[in-house]
Structure 1
Amino acid sequence: MQKSIEPNDKIREYLKIVANRESFWSRKWVEDGVFEADPEEGRDKVFITFPYPYMNGSLHLGHAYSSGRLDVLARYYRMKGYNVLYPWAWHWTGEAVLGTIHRLLDGDISVRKRLIELDGVDEELIDKFKDPVFFVRYFTNVNREVVKRYGLSIDWRREFHTSSLHPLYNKFVEWQIRKLYKKGYIGKGLYPAVWCPRDQSPTGDHDRLEGVGVRPEEYTLIKFKLYLDDTEYYLVAGTFRPETIYGVTNIWVNPDADYVVAEVDSEKWIISKEAAFKLENQLKTVKIIEEFKGSYIVGLFAEAPLVNKYIPILPARFVDPDMVTGVVYSVPGHAPYDYLALRDITDSRNIDPIIKEMASRIKPLSIIKVEGYGDYPAIEIVEEMGIKSQEDYEKADEATQKIYKIEYHRGVMKENCGPISNMPVSKAKEIIKSILLEEGLATTMYDLPEKVVCRCGTKCIVKIITDQWYLKYSDPTWKKIAYEALNNMKIYPDEAKKLFDHYIDWYEDWPCTRKTGLGTPFPFDKGWIVETLTDSTVYMAFYIIAKYYNKGIINVDKVDDSFFEYIFYGSGDPNELSKTLNIDRAVLDEIRSEFLYWYPVDVRGSGKDLIGNHLTFYIFHHVALFPADKWPRSITVNGYVMLNGRPMSKSAGNYISLENAIKAVGSDALRLSLLTLADGLEDPDWSLDKGYKALERLYSIEEFIKNVYSINDDTQPTEASYHDKLLLARYYTILDSIEKNISEHKIGQAGREIFYKLFDV
Structure 2
Amino acid sequence: MHMVEWKQIEAKWQKRWAEAHAFDTDPDPEKPKFYLTVAYPYPNSPQHIGHGRTYTLTDVHARFQRMHGYNVLLPMAWHFTGTPLFAMVERLKERDPSLLDTFLNLYNIPESKLPELEDPVSMATYFAMEIKHGMQRIGYSMDWRREFTTVDPIYSKFIEWQFAKLRQKGFITQGSHPVGWCPSCGNPVGQHDTVGDKEPEIDEFTVIKVKHDDLIFPAGTLRPETVYGITNMWINPDAVYVEANVDGERWVISAEAANKFQLLGRDVEIIDEYVGSKFIGLTLTNPVTGAEFPMLPASFVDPKAVTGVVMSVPAHAPFDYVALEQLKREVKKNPDNYKIKPEDIKDIESIAVIEIDGYSEIPARDVVEKLKITDQNDPNLEKATKEIYSAEFHGGKMRNNTGQYASLPVQTAKEAVKEDMIAKGSATTMYEMLEPVQCRCGAEIVVKIFENQWFINYGDPE
Q: TM-score, normalised by structure 1?
A: 0.56
How far 1:258 sits from its partner (Å)? 2.3
Q: Which runs of 5+ in 2 are unaligned?
A: none
Deviations 1:212-250 (A, max 9, x none): 3443211121122225xxxx4211111111111111000
Name the residue aligned to 2:427. 442
2:295 corresponds to which of 313, 323, 326: 313
CA distance in 2, matches of 1:265, 1:46: 57
CA distance in 2, matches of 1:76, 1:267: 66
How far 1:463 sits from its partner (Å)? 0.8
CA distance in 2, matches of 1:383, 1:43: 71
Deviations 1:681-708 (A, max 9, x none): xxxxxxxxxxxxxxxxxxxxxxxxxxxx
Of stretches 347-356 and 439-448 in structure 1, the one that deviates more from structure 2 is 347-356
Name the residue aligned to 2:52. 64
Q: TM-score, normalised by structure 2?
A: 0.89
How far 1:185 sits from its partner (Å)? 1.3
How far 1:363 sits from its partner (Å)? 0.6
How far 1:321 sits from its partner (Å)? 1.4
CA distance in 1, matches of 2:423, 2:39: 49
Name the residue aligned to 2:400. 415
Which of 1 and 2 has greater Rg?
1
1:96 corresponds to which of 77, 84, 90: 84
Contact 2:34 2:73 in 1 (8 A): yes
Name the residue aligned to 1:397. 382
Q: How does 1:564-575 map to 2 (within 5 A)?
A: none
Q: Does residue 1:430 correspond to 2:415, yes or no?
A: yes
How far 1:58 sits from its partner (Å)? 1.1
- CA separation of 1:350 and 1:260: change in aligned 2, threshold 3 A: same
Name the residue aligned to 1:380. 366
CA distance in 1, matches of 2:68, 2:374: 62
2:259 corresponds to which of 254, 269, 277: 277
Q: Which runs of 5+ in 1 are unaligned?
A: 1-13, 479-761
Q: Does residue 1:242 correspond to 2:224, yes or no?
A: yes
How far 1:196 sits from its partner (Å)? 1.3
Instruction: Please state whether the residue corresponding to 1:198 is helix, strand or coil.
Output: coil
**Which letter maps to 1:103?**
R
**Which letter maps to 1:173?**
I
Of stretches 139-148 and 171-180 in structure 1, the one that deviates more from structure 2 is 139-148
Contact 2:47 2:130 in 1 (8 A): no
- CA separation of 1:179 and 1:76: change in aligned 2, threshold 3 A: closer
Q: Does residue 1:123 correspond to 2:111, yes or no?
A: yes
CA distance in 1, matches of 2:28, 2:197: 46
Q: How does 1:70-219 map to 2 (within 5 A)?
A: 70-75=58-63, 84-163=72-151, 166-210=152-196, 212-219=198-205
Instruction: Please state whether the residue corresponding to 2:78 is helix, strand or coil.
Output: coil
Contact 1:275 1:321 in 2 (8 A): yes
How far 1:355 sits from its partner (Å)? 5.0
Name the residue aligned to 2:271. 289
Q: Aligned pair count? A: 456
Contact 2:314 2:321 in 1 (8 A): yes
Q: Does residue 1:365 correspond to 2:347, yes or no?
A: no
Instruction: Please state whether the residue corresponding to 2:401 is helix, strand or coil.
Output: coil
Contact 1:222 1:237 in 2 (8 A): yes
2:38 corresponds to which of 41, 50, 58: 50
1:327 corresponds to which of 285, 309, 312: 309
Contact 1:54 1:96 in 2 (8 A): no
Instruction: Please state whether the residue corresponding to 2:384 is helix, strand or coil.
Output: helix
**Which letter maps to 1:118?**
L
Contact 2:315 2:362 in 1 (8 A): yes
User: Superposition RMSD on alpha carbons, in Å?
Assistant: 2.7
- Identical-residue share of aligned pairs (%): 42
CA distance in 2, matches of 1:76, 1:431: 54
**Which letter maps to 2:223?**
R
**Which is strand-richer, 1 or 2?**
2
Contact 1:210 1:454 in 2 (8 A): no
How far 1:328 sits from its partner (Å)? 0.7
Instruction: Please state whether the residue corresponding to 1:431 is helix, strand or coil.
Output: helix
Contact 1:211 1:453 in 2 (8 A): no
CA distance in 2, matches of 1:327, 1:80: 64
CA distance in 1, matches of 2:66, 2:452: 50
CA distance in 2, matches of 1:304, 1:102: 49
